[in-house]
Amino acid sequence: MVRRLAILVLLAWTLVALGGRWLPLHPDRMALPHILEAPDSAHWMGADDLGRPVLDRLLVGAGVSFRVSVLVVSLSLWFGVLIGSLAAWYGGRAERLLVLVMDVFMAFPGILLAIALAGLLGPGIDNLVFALTLVGWVGYARLARAQVLSVRQREHVQAAQALGTPSWRIIWRHLLPLISAPLVVEATFGVAAVVIAESGLSFLGLGVQPPDASWGSMIRDGVRYMLVAPHLVLAPGIALMLVVLSVNLLGDQLRDWLDVRSGLREQGRER
Amino acid sequence: MPAYLVSRFLNALWVLFGVTTLVFFLIHWVPGDPVAVMLGESASAADTEALRHALGLDRPLLEQWAGFLTGALSLDLGSSLYYQQPVFALVFTRLGATLQLSALAFLVALLVALPLGLLAAARKGSHWDSTAMGFSLLGISIPNFWLGPLLVMVFSLGLGWFPVSGRESALSVVLPAITLGTGLAAVLSRMVRSSLLEVLGEDFVRTARAKGLAARQVLVRHAMRNAWLPVLTLLGMQLGALLGGAVVTEMVFNWPGVGALLVESIQRRDYPVVQGCVLMISLSYVVINLLTDLLYVKADPRIRLGQA
């Protein structure tokens, strides 16, 4: 039941994000008579401090969070897996260097670096994506490296090597399929993390800029009118939480299906 | 043991060096001129040059970098372009507020997560379990910049129990600590649960049960002691997320910590303070992690450090 709801939420999120441009939305249309109006039959979610329809802005914000999270996770996954698996496969000095670099990134709250970077680069979606990707690739590189190290001695890999298969082909055809399950699970949770990060940065004023709508900036603007118009904070917050919750549920589900060992157990064993 | 300590210490030094270097070059690589921000638009070219020279911003980048690193070793982080004060003093006065908030948030997390995780593991598959884990999932999914305003709406504006923001009274810290601690509590309770479940499947637990020990005693004295270890390791890593979350939480509650200073300084392009904040936060994180590692050894005598 809960899982079906989660799937529905994610479907709606995707549809709104992909099809939003064909909807008759007016996220920037100000209507002074409607300022801070509570939800009614004409404005399903009320109006904000400039009389703009909250529902329209919410749907536009859904598109922003979808695009940013899909973009950031795809880019991080691509770079991370490329760098991590190449390092593990070839080893040597390059790998040791990568481990040192990863140590630095992992020993540092990523969101902090993203905040600093997004702030210094200047606000905007492109810079936001860049900052989050720069922080995000490390986790996937670490995971890909560990996974490749654990499967590179398998017999079928040695057989492929003995047959003279080029390295890129071994990695692509013989290693990646083996290590993709944990990466898929990690990427799913990554989507949830990026959705929160995007809204968080926009909440701090470092992401999407006004007048464009983002769930984070809607929450920030709404906080000022919390007493008179709580729907300004509630609507984007609930949307945000539903999406993140659904993505996390999907991640849990995937982890069970794909039978990925829990990180906890592996961490304990490493020691 | 000393060899292990030395290697951990060297690693910590390397991490600090790497983080500062990374931030230094990022700051100087991105567009935006602090001198222009300080002087405003009406400044003459000569004034701009003079100030740039006075601040040492016209020196070669590598020289500035070397200067920053040697300065950092003697706690001299330069002076703020905005406050005209030494950065170290500025950041240091704010560090107390951040550490207080983080420590209390950690306490909140621990107080919530331990009973929740224990309950869920002890009654695995029951309604207790699914309720506890449902709460945990909810806690992971609720962003602190939304939870904060919600708590303010209910407990400050509605019931009037706590101040809305700032750090004037002792009660001020309650809502920020709950806001910041919720995410960690959620993660932690899951860790406690899965770690306990693993230990509960071990032979010595069956032996303890076969001996006829009370369920409570098996759980607390036999299982929990062993379940702690993996939790402790991951806890060290989670503290990074806690410190990162503190930045946002401080902004929500106008809490005068390093995180709020960082965001303000970014907006003012106050480079030395940004560097100082980043250095201080990573320093706290590295030190806490080092301590966690030592604690880990204390908690599990079986671990031989030389091989770790």
**Across residues A97-115, what is the average pLDDT?**
80
Interface test with A, best of B138, B189, B197, B248 (most A CBs within 10 A): B248
Q: Give CA–CA dist A109/A116, Å, rounded.
A: 11
**Across residues A103-128, what is the average pLDDT?**
80
Residue B32: the pLDDT is: 64
Contacts of B302 in chain A (CB under 8 A): none
Q: Which residues of chain B have pLDDT under 50?
A: 306-308
Residue A157: the pLDDT is: 86
Residue ranges per domain, chain A?
A: 54-259
- Rounded to the nearest angstrom, the minimum Cα separation between B257 and chain A is 14
Q: Give CA–CA dist A184/A182, Å, rounded.
A: 5
Q: Which CATH class is domain A54-259?
A: mainly alpha
Q: Give CA–CA dist A104/A94, Å, rounded.
A: 16
CA distances A192 to A66, A68, A69, Å, are 10, 11, 8
Contact: A111, B245; criterion CB under 8 Å: yes
Contact: B230, A112; criterion CB under 8 Å: no
Interface test with A, best of B266, B291, B303, B304 (most A CBs within 10 A): B266
Cβ B257 vs Cβ B97: under 8 Å: yes
Going by C-alpha positions, the residue among B143, B234, B121, B147 that lies closest to residue B188 is B234
Q: Give CA–CA dist B252/B249, Å, rounded.
A: 5
Tell me, what DSSP letter sits at residue A47?
Answer: B
Contact: B230, A267; criterion CB under 8 Å: yes
Residue A252 has pLDDT above 90, yes or no: no
Residue B214: the pLDDT is: 79
Residue A73 has pLDDT above 90, yes or no: yes
pTM: 0.84
**Across residues A257-269, what is the average pLDDT?**
54
Crossing angle, helix B87-122 and helix B127-141, to 10 degrees? 160
- The alpha-helical segments, DSSP class H, found in A91-175 are 92-106, 110-121, 125-151, 155-162, 167-169
Contacts of A204 in chain B (CB under 8 A): 248, 251, 263
Residue B87: the pLDDT is: 86
Contact: A111, B138; criterion CB under 8 Å: no
Residue B208: the pLDDT is: 81
Pick A233's closest partner by Cβ from B140, B149, B308.
Answer: B149
Kindly report, residue by residue over A203-241, the tens digit of the pLDDT.
Answer: 888 888 877 888 988 888 888 888 777 888 888 899 999
Confidence of residue A2 (pLDDT cuts 50, 70, 90): confident
Torsion angles phi and psi, residue A47, rounded to 5? -130, 155
Q: Give CA–CA dist A39/A216, Å, rounded.
A: 20
Range with lowest mean pLDDT among A86-90, A118-122, A197-201, B242-246 = A118-122
Three-point CA angle B153, B156, B159, nearest 5° = 95
Kindly report, residue by residue over A29-69, the tens digit of the pLDDT.
Answer: 777 777 767 777 666 677 777 767 778 888 888 888 999 99
Range with lowest mean pLDDT among A119-128, A259-268, B12-21, B268-277 = A259-268
Residue B308: the pLDDT is: 40
Tell me, what DSSP letter sits at residue A28?
Answer: T
Contact: B137, A115; criterion CB under 8 Å: no
Pick B244's closest partner by Cβ from A107, A109, A219.
Answer: A109
Q: Give CA–CA dist A230/B154, Å, rounded.
A: 11
Residue B38: the pLDDT is: 67
Residue ranges per domain, chain B?
A: 2-73, 91-307
Residue A72 has pLDDT above 90, yes or no: yes
Torsion angles phi and psi, residue B216, rounded to 5? -60, -40
Q: Which residue has the tokens 């207080």?
A: B100
Q: Is B6 on the interface with A (CB under 8 A)?
A: no
Contact: A219, B146; criterion CB under 8 Å: yes
Q: Is B290 on the interface with A (CB under 8 A)?
A: no
Kindly report, residue by residue over B190-238, the tens digit of the pLDDT.
Answer: 888 888 888 877 888 788 888 878 777 777 777 777 777 778 777 777 8
Residue A30: the pLDDT is: 72
Contacts of B32 in chain A (CB under 8 A): 120, 122
Contact: A103, B18; criterion CB under 8 Å: yes
- Could you tell me how many residues make up chain B? 308
**Helix/strand/coil (H/E/C) assignment for every residue in chain B:** CHHHHHHHHHHHHHHHHHHHHHHHHHHHHCCCCHHHHHHCCCCCHHHHHHHHHHCCCCCCHHHHHHHHHHHHHCCCCCECCCCCCEHHHHHHHHHHHHHHHHHHHHHHHHHHHHHHHHHHHHCCCCHHHHHHHHHHHHHHHCCHHHHHHHHHHHHHHHCCCCCCCCCCCHHHHHHHHHHHHHHHHHHHHHHHHHHHHHHHCCHHHHHHHHCCCCHHHHHHHHHHHHHHHHHHHHHHHHHHHHHHHHHHHHHHHCCCCHHHHHHHHHHHCCHHHHHHHHHHHHHHHHHHHHHHHHHHHHHCCCCCHHHC
Q: Give CA–CA dist B296/B226, Å, rounded.
A: 11
**Domain B91-307, CATH:** 1.10.3720.10
Q: Is B227 on the interface with A (CB under 8 A)?
A: no
Torsion angles phi and psi, residue A204, rounded to 5? -80, 0
Contacts of B251 in chain A (CB under 8 A): 203-204
Residue A268: the pLDDT is: 36
The region that residue A206 occupies, defined by phi over 0 for left and psi between -120 and 50 for alpha, beta otherwise, is: alpha
- Rounded to the nearest angstrom, the minimum Cα separation between A159 and chain B is 33
Pick B282's closest partner by Cβ from A108, A119, A196.
Answer: A108
Sign, CA dihedral A148-A153-A154-A159, equals positive
The ipTM assigned to this model is 0.81
Cβ A231 vs Cβ A54: under 8 Å: yes
- Could you tell me how many residues make up chain A? 271
CA distances A159 to A58, A152, A174, A202, B208, Å, are 54, 11, 10, 51, 48
